[in-house]
Every structure is written in C-alpha cells, then in structure tokens.
Structure 1
C-alpha cells in the first residue's frame, strides 16, 4: 500500500510539469506508462543496486521530476497567448500555501515511513528531516527576499523552496549524520531552489523548450540530485564507529569470500 502511494506521488510530481498543456486522456496514458517505468526503475535501484534511498529522493523525486520534464520537452512551449495564463493569483497562492504547510508538517513522517525501527533509525530519520526542512525554510525566505526582482517575498518561491530540505534528505535521512551537515544541506538546497526559479527555469524554457508549469525541476529534480550525492558521500565515509558490526557484511560467492558495504536499508 505504501509503495503504491509512493508510485502515485511520482506520477503527481510529473504532472506538475505538464499541467495546463495536456488533456485528461493524455494524463491517463502518461500515468499508465509512468507506473510501469517507475516500477522497473525502483526494482533496479533498490533491489539490484541496493541504493540507500529511505525517503525516496532518487526513486520518487528524481524519477518523477525528470519523467515529467521529458514529457514537457516533447510537448514544447505553449504559445504566447496561452502563457498569459501561466501565472499565480491571490486565491491560488493562499490555497497552495495551505498545501505547503501540510507537506512541511508531514514530510518527516513521509521520509521515515519505510525506515526500520531498529537502531534508532526511524527517530534519526525524523530528526534529520526536521532539521533540514527547517533550514531550507529559513534560507528560502532569505534568498527570495534578496534575489527576487521586486525585493519582496515571492509566494511561488516560498511554496516550493521551503520544502527542498525534505526532498534532499530523503536519501540519507536514516544515516548517522552530524546536525551541522544536515542543516548545511538544507540551507544550500533552499537557496539553490530559489536561484533555480529565478535564473535556471527561464533559460531551460528558452534553450531547451522545457516549459515547467509548477517548477518541479526546482523543488524535486535539483534537491533530489543534491540528496543523492549527499547520501553517496555519507555512505562512503561511514565507519564501524557509527554503525557497529552491522556495517560490513560477509558474503560467500562461489568458493570465495567477498566483503561489501550494504545499503543502510539493510543495516
């Protein structure tokens, strides 16, 4: 059931890139195809490669974002007449901010859903997510105030960049990480998300015909890539001092013994 919810989440992320440019029939076909490719990707990443991805930064956010961006590149950029409607309004901003508040509150439980309760992992995942998403919230408010052209808080930036910390820590939320590192990751992705909204998104639309309706590149794609690299570095530098004897597992392959570092989902 939970894995099905995660698959639906990846599809909804992809919808964010194509809303307003597709028909309901096209969205149904897109959903059917994406669920198939999502399942294949999840099996390869989690089962075969055994990647550390407790909160689904790579499996859910990266895949969903780039799948949607690939579709929107195929669809192209809407005409100038249609682009007039591609803007936010007061009412839509208010309702969107309500959604942001709910996501902000429940993101720690989202990241820790599939985390084992052994070895303080679930509690660690919750605390890590709270620290990171709080840091990204603070940096997003500061960045949009300083970098926006109006020098005011931009609601579109705040609705999305404040959640970037939760996306970024999905890969490494259950690892033994220093609070300073977690907060740094949150601060970085919060600022990077705002910068991406201001500088990167317009260039992608002009040069690659990537019309990203809801800015999923800035909230899901970019922070999840940062989270993937962070998870890889943290896993690479892990030691027995942090995880004890469960870090290295002794495997027997044919008649030879091999040692490998399993992913934290097996620790």
Structure 2
C-alpha cells in the first residue's frame, strides 16, 4: 500500500483524540459553569428554572436520540460498513457536542468570563453537531476517523460563526438553523416521528412550538406521499426505489424548518412538503448521477438532495412567509414571532440575506474544509478499500467461527456413531 494511503491509526488517531479532549477539559475549566438552576448555592431562588427544565427535557430527548441513534442507523445501508456508520456517528456526536457548547457559548452566552450551561445549551449543541453528521453522510465510507474529527472541529466552528451572523447580526427568524451544503437519519420511521420535536424544540413562544409541530407533521405527511409517487413515476417499470423512500420522505421536515413556527397554515405546510418530495426524489434520480459523472462530486447518502435543495426551499418559504406576515394574520402574536419589530417586507429582505450568507459561508467553508481533509497524512482509505469496516475495525472472524462450529458438530456425530 502506498505511503499516501497509510491507514494505520494506532498512534495518529489516539494522539489527536486525546489532545482534543485534553484541550476541551482545560477550556471547560476556564469557561464552563452550571446554570443557576443547576447551581446548589442558587437553586433555592430559581425554582422556575427547574420547572422549565422538565418542560423542555422531552424535546431534548427527541433531538438527542436523533443525533446519537437516528443519523447512524440511517447510514447502515452499506453492507460492509455498519460498524463504521454507527461507530463513527457516535464519535462525531460525542466530540461535536462538547465543541459546540464552547463555540456557541463564546458567541452568545459569555458573561463575566463564564458560560452558563443549561438545557438550551445542550439542545443547541446537538443542533450544531447535526451539521457535521449531515456532512458525514456525504463522505460516508471514504474518510478516516482522523478526517472526521478534523471535519467536525472545522464545521462546527464555521456553523457557529454563521449562526451568529444570521441570527444575531441579521436577526433572521428560523427554527431549524442548518447550513445548506452543496457538496457535502436509523430508520425513516423514527426520523419522521422525531422531526416535529426537532423543529419545535427551540421555538421561544408556546404558540410557535404548537405551530411548529403541526406544520412539520403535515409537511412530512405530504412529502412521504409525493416521494412514493415520484419514485414510481421516474422508474421505467414503475417500481419503488428504497433510496428515495428512506431519504426523500424526510425532505419535508427539512424544508419546513425555517418557517415551522410561522403562520403558514396547514395547506402551506402541505405545499412545502409536496414540493420538497418532488425536488428530493428527482435529485436522487437524476442530479446525483450527473454530479458524480460530470463534476466528480461524491455524495454517498445524497445529502444534497435531502438537506441541500430542501434547505434552500425552506429558506425561500421563510422569505415568503415573512413577507406575508402582518398584524391582521398574527394579531398580538406578531411581535412574539418576529421580535425585531420589522415590517413583513423588511424582514423578508433580511431572510433573503440570511439565506445568501449561509450559502456563501457553506461554499467557502466547505471548500476550505475539503482541501484540508485531502491532505494524505490523515489516513484516508484508498479507493479499493472504501466502504469496508475491516480497514479501521476489528471484526469478528465469522469464517473461523463457522469452521469451529462445524468441527464441533462433526465430532459429536462421530461420538454418537461409535456409541
């Protein structure tokens, strides 16, 4: 095997992983502390925060299960890459949430040199980790664990900066903030069941959470039916493609993210899901092969079709929904949904600016990250060894075990025959 494809992780991976964890421990010692609701000295004066914790915790569970279980099991469709799909998902998630709390804390919650961690910090850390896990799907089977740790470090840093720009500087209204990735969940059923909680978890007002659940629910339902129809339509024999059913059926939840808490009405959410199902299925069928053959852009899980194009659709839906916002539509709840006090048209302009900024940051950040990951030192597997657990994992010796079982059975038969 050429030196450029040295995939032995014995020293490089442990050194990097331990070094990253050591740095995080030191940074946590300097910056991270308990929120007042978890502080034993202050808890007697903050009983309301404890009540808020137990109200939000079920939403945190939904998101956490999607991050640690959902993404990994969605990627187990590769026959010889199950260990890596689930195992590397766990690796990225464990590192990502630690780094995400620091990055978002520095940008949003640093006060008197300290970052107070509460249940919302954990939820936002899971959101930031999702960006790295989505990109993991695009390079699934073609990266080493070292590359994945570096990708997680860079992407969460870029995500946190972009989120600060879009939500704090531009004050864009969006629930499920995801960078749209052009190059760059577990079963489709579990993801569909959890997506409502994913979209509603960070809505600040109760009626917004209520709408987010309803809108995501309808968008997913319409997307599933549309994806089934399109999957059959684009096949010459009218057969269904499991790739479409497993992935495109979730695009409605992605597309509903930005406008989920807005007054788009059930028919609006159905329309968003319907459109997302079409563009996602068509993307899997026609666009992915073109990107691979003409532009040499690899995308194992079709991230561009499930998150990229539906994410842009969601951004456009947010622009339209913001432009239509008025006191006649929202009543006194307008200021809660759009706390900036801007008119609908002005807010729509900022929504468009946020979408453009996210696309720009995604393209530039993704390109820089890609070039860094291409450095041969990181132990990327050669093409002939991609999509195979054996290169990085100790696997059970199935053949030896079967031979031992057959030998044992043969011995018992001989003993019985002699008896």
What TM-score results when the alignment is normalised by the length of structure 1?
0.78
Q: Say if 2:316 is the partner of 1:225.
A: no
CA–CA distance in 2 between the matches of 1:261 and 1:5?
32
Q: Say if 2:290 is the partner of 1:203.
A: yes
Contact 1:247–1:261 (8 Å) recurs in 2: no
1:55 to 176, 194, 202: 176
Instruction: Give the aligned partner of residue 15 of structure 2.
Output: none
When structure 1 is superposed on structure 2, of 151-160 and 239-248 the one drifting more is: 239-248
1:116 to 183, 189, 204: 204
Q: Say if 2:233 is the partner of 1:146.
A: yes
1:13 to 134, 141, 150: 134
CA drift of 1:144 comes to 0.4
Matches within 5 A, 1:1-267: 1-56=122-177, 60=178, 62=180, 65-66=181-182, 69=183, 99-118=187-206, 120-245=207-332, 247=334, 260-261=342-343
SS of residue in 1 equivalent to 2:238: coil
Contact 1:61–1:220 (8 Å) recurs in 2: no
CA drift of 1:234 comes to 0.7
Q: Provide the aligned length of Structure 1 versus Structure 2.
A: 222
What TM-score results when the alignment is normalised by the length of structure 2?
0.50
Contact 1:13–1:61 (8 Å) recurs in 2: no
CA–CA distance in 2 between the matches of 1:164 and 1:47?
27
CA–CA distance in 2 between the matches of 1:4 and 1:122?
19
When structure 1 is superposed on structure 2, of 179-188 and 161-170 the one drifting more is: 179-188
CA drift of 1:261 comes to 3.5
Instruction: Give the aligned partner of residue 255 of structure 1.
Output: none
Question: Which consecutive unaligned segments of at least 5 residues does structure 1 have?
Answer: 71-95, 250-257
Contact 2:159–2:179 (8 Å) recurs in 1: no
| Alignment RMSD (CA, Å) | 2.1
Question: Which consecutive unaligned segments of at least 5 residues does structure 2 have?
Answer: 1-121, 349-419
Contact 1:140–1:191 (8 Å) recurs in 2: yes
- Alpha carbons of 1:61 and 1:152: their partners in 2 closer, same or farther (altered >3 Å)? farther
CA drift of 1:259 comes to 6.5
Relative contact order, CA 8 A, sep 6+: which one is greater? Answer: 1
Deviation string 1:60-113 (CA, Å, 9 cap, x unpaired) is 252xx34xx25xxxxxxxxxxxxxxxxxxxxxxxxx8x5211100010010000
Contact 2:215–2:265 (8 Å) recurs in 1: no
Contact 1:61–1:167 (8 Å) recurs in 2: no
Instruction: Give the aligned partner of residue 77 of structure 1.
Output: none
CA–CA distance in 1 between the matches of 2:261 and 2:224?
21
SS of residue in 2 equivalent to 1:162: helix
